[in-house]
Amino acid sequence: MNVLTSITVLGFLIFFHEMGHFLAAILQGIYVDGFSIGFGPSIIQKKYKDITYSLRAFPLGGFVSFPDEEINNIDPKDPNLLKNRPIHQRVIVISAGVLANLILAYTILILNVTTIGIPFDPEPGILVLATQPEKAAALAGLEAGDIILKIETNTLEVGDQAVSTLVKKIQNSSEKPISIEILRNGFFKELTLTPKKVDGKGTIGAQLQPNIRKETKKTKNIFELFKYTNNQFSSLLIKTIQGYKGLITNFSSTAQQLSGPVKIVEIGAQLSEQGGTGILLFAALISINLAVLNSLPLPLLDGGQLVFTLIEGLRGEPVPVKVQMAVTQSSFFLLVGLSVLLIIRDTSQLLIVQRLLNQ
C-alpha cells in the first residue's frame, strides 16, 4: 500500500507539471492535440474537443503534444500554432510546467506547516542522539539524551552554530582531553572527552544535533507561517540545485547519492509510513526535484526547449533541424542510459537488503 501511495503521488506531481504546460497553451489560444500521463501504450484514451487525453502504461512521465500542420491539415502560417507564436508566449508555455511544480511544492509546505505546526526555537546546547560502543564518547560516559552545554569553560551557542563549534573543537583535538559540561535528567555533570584520531581528525563516535524539542507549535500569525515556509522552501530548492550542480563539479561523489525511479518509490513508501505529514513532505521534495530536473538544458527537458527558443529569439530564426536532432538524440541516450543504470543499481540494492533480511 505504501508503494502504491508513493507511485500515486509521483503520478499526481507529473500530472500537475503537464497541466501547467497544457493550461499555459490553452489559455493563450494555442492549439493542443494531446495530453498524456505516462509513456508507452495507452491504457485509457478519450478524445474531447480535438484533444486526446490518455493514461499510458508507464506512469513515471508525461507530455502535452501539439499538432503537426501536415498531418492535421492546418495552414503552416496559422497564428495559433505554437511555432508561430511570439517568443515570450512560447517561453511561458515551456516554463509553465516548472512553475507549476514550484507553486505546488510551496502550497504543500504551507499545508504541512498549517497542519503540524513549526519547531520550537533551538535551546542552548547540543543534544546527544546516540553513542557508539567503545568509542570516545561512550568511554567518557556520554549517553543518549545528554545535553552538552559547555566546552572547557565556554558556553555553547544554539542551533547549528553550536554543533559546528563542538565538531570543530573535536576534530582539532585528537588524542587531547576536552572537558565538557552536560545536563542529564536535570543534573549538571562534568565529563572528559579524548577524541580518537581517524584520518587525521579527532572523532568521538556520537550522533549530535541542535537542542530542539520534538514537539511543534502552531504559528502565531500569517507572517510567521509564510516566513517559516519561505525559509523551508528556499532551503530545499537550494539544496536540490546544489545536488544537481554536483553532477557536473563532482560527478563521482554525487552519482553515488543519485536516486532512480525505484529508489524514489522506496523513499516515498518509507515516508508514507509516517502518515499524512510524510506523504506531504515526499510530495514537496519530489515536486521541487521535478522542477529543477526539467530546468536542466537538455533537449528532452523543458530547459533544453527553452534554450532552443531563446537562441531562436536571438538569431531571428529557428536552430537548424539537423542540429536540434543531433543534440536531442545524444541527450536521449544520456538520459535513458542513466535511468537504466539507476534502476538496475537501486533494484539490486533492494534485492540484496531483502535477501539479508530473510536470512
E strand or H helix at 332, and its extent?
Answer: helix 321-358
Q: Which residue is listed with cell 552536560? A: 182
**C-beta atoms surrounding 62 within 10 Å:** 24
Q: Over 70: is that where the pLDDT of 20 sits?
A: yes
Q: Which residue is listed with cell 509553465? A: 96
- Contact between 299 and 308 under an 8 Å Cβ cutoff? The reply is yes
73: CB partners within 8 A, 6+ apart: none
Query: Which of 119-133, 172-186, 265-279, 295-309 is modeled with the greatest confidence?
Result: 172-186
Burial bucket for residue 168 (CB in 10 Å: 0-12, 13-18, 19+): exposed
Average pLDDT over residues 261-276: 51
- Amino acid in the structure at residue 298: L
Q: Average per-residue pLDDT in the chain?
A: 78
Q: Among residues 210, 174, 214, which one has the least CA distance to residue 194? A: 174
Query: Which percentage of the chain shows pLDDT scores above 70?
Result: 77
Locate the DSSP E strands across the chain: 34-48, 51-65, 118-119, 123-131, 147-151, 154-155, 178-184, 187-193, 196-198, 201-203, 206-211, 216-217
Q: Which residues pair with 357 in a beta bridge?
A: none
DSSP 8-state code for residue 300: T
93 vs 266, which has greater pLDDT?
Answer: 93
Count of all residues that appear for the chain in the document? 359
- Contact between 6 and 48 under an 8 Å Cβ cutoff? The reply is no
Tell me phi and psi for residue 317, to 5 degrees: -155, 155
- For position 92, what pLDDT does the model report? 94
Q: Among residues 23, 30, 32, 25, which one has the least CA distance to residue 65? A: 32
- Taking only Cα atoms into account, the Rg of the chain, rounded to an integer number of angstroms, comes to 26
Q: In the numeric block, which cell numbers belong to residue 352?
A: 540484496
- Amino acid in the structure at residue 122: P
Burial bucket for residue 295 (CB in 10 Å: 0-12, 13-18, 19+): buried
Q: How far apart are CA 294 and CA 118, in angstroms?
A: 30
74 vs 192, which has greater pLDDT?
Answer: 192
Q: Over 90: is that where the pLDDT of 55 sits?
A: no
**C-beta atoms surrounding 108 within 10 Å:** 22
- For position 248, what pLDDT does the model report? 59
Active site residues: 18
Q: In the numeric block, which cell numbers belong to residue 53?
A: 487525453
Q: What is the pLDDT of residues 205-242, one digit of tens each?
A: 888 888 877 777 888 889 989 998 998 899 888 877 77
Q: In the numeric block, which cell numbers belong to residue 296?
A: 536542466
Q: How far apart are CA 82 and CA 312, in angstroms?
A: 14
**C-beta atoms surrounding 123 within 10 Å:** 14
328: CB partners within 8 A, 6+ apart: 299, 300, 304
Q: Is 37 helix (H, G, I), strand (E, B) or coil?
A: strand
- For position 70, what pLDDT does the model report? 59
- Contact between 304 and 324 under an 8 Å Cβ cutoff? The reply is no
Query: Which percentage of the chain shows pLDDT scores above 90?
Result: 13
112 vs 215, which has greater pLDDT?
Answer: 112
Q: Which residues pair with 158 in a beta bridge?
A: 124
284: CB partners within 8 A, 6+ apart: 105, 108, 109, 112, 236
